[in-house]
Structure formats: C-alpha cells, structure tokens
Chains A and B, each alone.
Chain A
Amino acid sequence: MSNATTHAETVHRVSFLDKDSLAIPILKVLQADGTAYENAVLPVIDETLAKKIHDTCVFTRVLDERMLGAQRQGRISFYMTCTGEEASIVGSTAALDDGDVILAQYREHAALRYRGFTTEQFMNQMFSNEKDLGKGRQMPIHYGSQALNYQTISSPLATQIPQATGVAYSLKRQGKRNIAICYFGEGAASEGDFHAGLNMAAVLNTPVIFFCRNNGYAISTPTDEQFKGNGIASRGVGYGMHTIRVDGNDMLAVLAATQQARAYALEHNAPVLIEAMTYRLGAHSSSDDPSGYRSKEEEAKWQQHDPVKRFKLWMVNKGWMDEQTDSELYVKYREEVLAQLKVAEKVPTPHIDEIISDVYDKPTPILQKQLAELKKHVKKYPEAYPKSAGRI
C-alpha cells in the first residue's frame, strides 16, 4: 500500500490548505512585439518548422473566415472557428511526431491541417459529399483521418479524455515510441470523463498529454462559473501528474512546453497536463452570439494578444518572414479555399446504400431489409427524396 497519508508530515493545530497554497506560474517566451523575454529558453525550432507553423495558422485563419461566411450564406449548416487559439493548437501539434495520436475536442482543425489534411478534404467533410471520409454522417468540422492519426471528432464533450488514456496504453503495449495527445476545453474539464481519464492515465502509467485550452468560455459560461479552484492545472497535481501552465497565445511557450511534455511522457510512460491560457476570439459556433455574455472591450483587449501576429513578428525579427510574403499567403489561401468550396458543393451526396454501412462491420439482415424497404419507398415518391431518388 502506498497511501500518501502514510508518510505525510503531521501537525498538531488545525490548518487548512486553499487554492493559493500551490502557486502555478505561467510560462511565457514571446513578448507582444515578437521578441523573446530575456532569459527565456526557446524551444527547438528552425526556419522550416517556423514556416510550417505560420503557414498552418494563416490557412486556418482564412478557412475560418471563409467558412463562417459560407455558413452565413446558407451554403453549410454549421461552423466553428478556432480564431485566437491557433498558438495553443498548432504550437502543441508541432511538438509531436506524426505517429502520435490526436484526440481532439472539435476546435482543433489547425492540428489536422498541420498533419496534412488537404483543403479539398476539409471541404468534402463540410459539404457532407460522397468524397467525405466520414461519408457525410456528421455535422461540419467533425473531421477524422486514420492516415493522419487524428481520431474522428464526436460532439459529446470530454469522451475523448479517457479514450486518450486507452490509446496511450495501446501505444505503450504495441512498443511504439509514440504518445497520445488529448485536447479539451476548460468547460469539458467539468465532465466526469475528465476525472476518469486523468486519474486512470496516472494510475495506469500511460504516455499521454492532456492539453486544456482554457479559452475563458464554455459557450456563454465564463470560467468563474465553471470552477472555483486554481484553474485546471491544479487538478493535474492532484492526480499525481506532471503539470504546466503556459501562455496559450505564445507559440514558442506552447511549443517548448509540449516538446518537453512529450519527451517526459515517453521516457517515463506517464501523463502530463498542459493548461494553455488563451481566449476564444470568435463565437462558440455559428449558432452563438457572444454579445449576449461578453463585452466588446474585453474582445478588443484580447485582439491585442493575437497569437498569429505575435509569432509572425518573431519570424520577421528572425528574417524568416516579411509582410509581403505573409500577405501573399493570405491571398493564396483565400483563392484556394474559395475554389475548393465551389468544387465540393457540387460533388454528389453519398449513395443511399451508405445509410446502413458501418453500423456494424457487415450490414445485418434487419438492416438489409430496412434498406430494401426504404429504397422501394423512395422510388415510389422520388420528388420527396431528391438527393437519393435518381441514384437507386
């Protein structure tokens, strides 16, 4: 038995701990002007990596801007942006090996882009067309790719957390030099699955990074109505795991923390919790209007901490980027996104037969019967089912 209470120091007067008993600093590397803090230890980064990170951020900005617009025009049903959180997402993914498995919440498409998901693939998913890897079964932004080790998004919050522990355990058992990374918001950390997943990860010695995007809001609920403790980081210590809090809008701080977290997780077969302090500059989703729960002044304040701009300034200072190249990249991606959007929205929907595939590995007799009856019905009333009627 190794109960911590058996070797605790004893006291003989009542004395309580509180949330400030544990001081948790915030790691910062980059200042607002794009120069590093004096004495800051930089992550491992060269020009190629910096350009890939920057490229991913620009693409994501453009995608978010265009697809939110497309949603407003009624071309897609739903959208979610990750504006303001790019450093948290890309900075962490850039610290990983491509064989590391990503279990995201939903606002991490920048990580998928970093891994190589093409513009066409993004579009196919959002338009639920027959080229969508997910066969048109989920709302826009629920991406997934086996080839890129990015597990398909599910809408229920925090379910990916204990799953990441399982994935990490499997990687360990398979003898792979890989870890799992699990993204979630500070709101999702209130779910039972958060507790279950982190506790099991620590107890079962699994190489996994739990990456909390503390972006201030769970839809409309601010953090002070979500938890009372010292952020999410304080909980990691409670589970007995290595924990760090970083400035989530500081690309180099996130990269540095995640690089070291990954090395630690692999070497010790142990989980690490990273709490990235950031801000969701956009709405929760295309169905949300933040003006009902936060001020323009607050948003304007956070605009000053734009993580993409800060990192770009650092690259400009290094001589790895200039304003013109940066602007040209935005133009290039705007054209590419628009062009691919126009193609994807004309690709047919998946065939009606796909309605029963993948429920089980093989369609059961009951499903086959239901499909046959459905097709017969659609044939009888083709005008009521225009997407399928012409292709039975």
Chain B
Amino acid sequence: MAQMNMLQAINEALSSEMEADQTMTVFGEDVGHFGGVFRATSGLQEKFGRERCFNTPLTEQGIAGFANGLASNGMTAVAEIQFADYIFPAIDQIINESAKFRYRSGGEFDVGGLTFRTPYGGGIAGGHYHSQSPEAYFTQTAGLKVVVPRNPEQAKGLLIASIRDKNPVIFFEPKRLYRASVGEVPEGEHVIELGKAEVVQQGTDITLLGWGAQMEILEQAAEKAAKKGISCEIIDLRTLAPWDVDTVAESVKKTGRLLINHEAPLTGGFAGEIAATIQQECFLYLESPIARVCGLDTPYPLIHEKEYMPDALKTYEAILASVNF
C-alpha cells in the first residue's frame, strides 16, 4: 500500500497498463510532455516515448474519431478529453460510432480497447464550462460503459478494469477529488470488476446511493443522520452503465427507503432511471417515495455553486423527510 492522491493513482494505473500492454497509447490535448492540464499523464511520454503518449491537435471530435480508428484495428486506446464539458464535439463519434461499432458490424469490428478519460463535476469554481456532469447523456446509449470512481484506490482499480474491458468505456474522473482525495492504494495488480456496486456502509433505515465525488457528501449526511439515530446504508454505484440493479434492490428491500444523489440536474438525470427501476423491483418494500437530491435544472452556476450543489445538508434534510414520511 502507498499513500497517494487520485491523480497519482490514475497515473499509476496508466503507467502499469502501458507497461503490460504494448499496444496501448495515451493521447489528448496537452497530455504529452506537459502531462495534461491536471498532470494525470505526467511522465508517461518520457517513460514510453512520443509514439505512445502524445499531444493531439485541439479537436475533441478528432480525438474520438482517431481513438475509434486505433481501437478498431486491435489497439488499446486511452483518450483524454480535457474536461467533460468539452466532450460534446466528440458526441457523434462516441454515440454513433464507438457505441455501435460492434453491433452494426455483426461483430466483424469493435472498439473494445477504447477508454475515454475525462474530468467531470463541480466544486472548483469552474462555472458552467468546467463543472458539468454529463453522464446521463451517455448512460442512455447502448454499447457504452460508464464508470465513476470515488477515491484513489477505486480510481486505480476501476481505471485498469476499464482499460482492459472489451467495450468502449467513458471513465469520469471527479476533478474536485484529484488532489483532495488521498488514501491507501494497493501496489501492483489491482482490478475492480465493472458493473458491480459496492456497499460502503451497512445500515438499516435508508439506502443512500451515489457515485464519484458525491460519495463523501453521502457519508457526511449519514454521519449527521446517525446522530438522530438514523442508520444509513451507503452504496457507491461505481458503474452507471451497465448498472448493478441487484445490489441496490437488495439493499432497498432491507431498508425500505432509497435516496439517490447526483450533481447533474434532476430532470433526465440518472437518478430517474434508478428510481423507476427500483420502484418496479421493490414496490411492496418501499416505506416512502424514492428521494432524489440532485443539481437544479439550471446550467451550472458559478457564483451560486454552493446553493446549486446537492450537498450534505440537502441530503440530510431529504433523509429526515424520507424517514418521517
């Protein structure tokens, strides 16, 4: 075990996979010698050469198209989109190409070796073009996997699994945790299976479900609720597509209540999908309506960031409302 922050854990995952897989390349805007604007790819060009870690021109659609081409010919491609807010020029390549490559060709071709890494989320005073959480645009697209880690240890294990996974994966990195989140990370081989949620805290009264940077918010709210005698079960979904219905349903059958928290706006957010599925699976077990604590249906506001965010206090209030329903 070594103490490291999330960027170091991501860097280590990339480095160890590049060592293990000679076909793997890492590319994107400023990822070469400079090591990326957040330094996630720091030192990789020096270690593996310019052919395997390089800058691209400033074109997200080009990066995604290039990545599709590389992966379609049997290579492992890890593309960085500098901010998730800038993934939209690439959306045609991701939704119409990456996601459908295998299906449309009947399995003649696929881009299974492709992973997009991209920093998402707020809390860094980034305003609406450096703070968005666009995961729900991708969870509706069949063929994509969507993964979000909550801490350095998870980031390493999930990123390695994403790179090795034989499907295109979008790996959303909670940028406000890049340096803020520090913890023990296993050295060497560390792989966390995709598609499995994790119960991070056992509880009996209500299930709190989230992912990424919101996990620490859920923990803070649960701690506050515990002082009122409310026992929260906390689940990190980790993989949003395909998501682990069974683990969530099992928990809700036990607690009878569910609260889902995400930074993205409420309407059309992934919480809606989870709520619909869980009321179907657990209807007779539910003691109260499924609660969603999410961002407002506004663009991500700069000066009102604090008010916008589904923070621990809003979550705590929603826990009380659910338990007292």
Chain A interface residues toward B at CB < 8 A = 101, 103, 132-135, 137-138, 142, 144-146, 151-152, 154, 156, 159, 161-171, 173-174, 180, 192-193, 195-197, 199-200, 203-204, 357-361, 364-367
| Contact across chains for B108 and A193 when beta carbons are under 8 A apart | no
A156's partner among B66, B96, B110 (CB-CB below 8 A) is B96
Quote the shortest CB–CB distance from B33 to chain A (angstroms): 13
Query: A77–B96 Cα gap in the complex (Å)?
Result: 22
Chain B interface residues toward A at CB < 8 A = 23, 25, 51, 54, 56-57, 59, 61-62, 64-75, 77, 89, 92-93, 96-97, 100-110, 112, 142-143, 145, 166-167, 195, 242-243, 245-246
Chain A, Cβ-Cβ closest to B241 = A364
Residues of B within 8 A of A133 (CB): 105-106, 108
**With contacts A134-B108, A173-B75 known, is A196 near B69, CB below 8 A?**
no
Ordered by A's residue number, 29 sampled pairs between the chains whose C-beta atoms are within 8 Å are A132-B106, A133-B108, A137-B103, A144-B106, A151-B105, A159-B65, A162-B65, A162-B66, A163-B66, A163-B69, A166-B77, A170-B70, A170-B75, A173-B23, A173-B75, A193-B61, A193-B92, A193-B93, A197-B65, A199-B62, A200-B57, A200-B62, A203-B56, A358-B105, A358-B106, A358-B110, A359-B143, A361-B102, A361-B110
Residues of B within 8 A of A204 (CB): 54, 56, 66
| Contact across chains for B89 and A192 when beta carbons are under 8 A apart | yes
Residues of B within 8 A of A199 (CB): 57, 59, 62
Give the most central of B62, B72, B75, B97: most A CB within 10 Å: B62
| Contact across chains for B69 and A193 when beta carbons are under 8 A apart | no
Residues of A within 8 A of B70 (CB): 166-167, 169-170
**With contacts A163-B97, A165-B65, A165-B66 known, is A200 near B75, CB below 8 A?**
no
Residues of A within 8 A of B59 (CB): 192, 195-196, 199-200
Quote the shortest CB–CB distance from A78 to chain B (angstroms): 15
Quote the shortest CB–CB distance from A198 to chain B (angstroms): 9
Q: How many pairs of A and B residues are in contact by the CB < 8 Å rule? A: 162
Residues of B within 8 A of A134 (CB): 104-106, 108
Quote the shortest CB–CB distance from B202 to chain A (angstroms): 24
Q: Which 5 A-B pairs have the closest CB atoms?
A: A166-B69, A162-B65, A196-B62, A152-B105, A163-B69
| Contact across chains for B66 and A169 when beta carbons are under 8 A apart | yes
Query: A162–B98 Cα gap in the complex (Å)?
Result: 13
| Contact across chains for B107 and A358 when beta carbons are under 8 A apart | yes
| Contact across chains for A173 and B65 when beta carbons are under 8 A apart | no
Residues of A within 8 A of B75 (CB): 170, 173-174
Query: A303–B97 Cα gap in the complex (Å)?
Result: 37
Chain B, Cβ-Cβ closest to A201 = B66
Query: A367–B195 Cα gap in the complex (Å)?
Result: 13
Quote the shortest CB–CB distance from B99 to chain A (angstroms): 9
| Contact across chains for A361 and B112 when beta carbons are under 8 A apart | yes
Query: A64–B68 Cα gap in the complex (Å)?
Result: 31
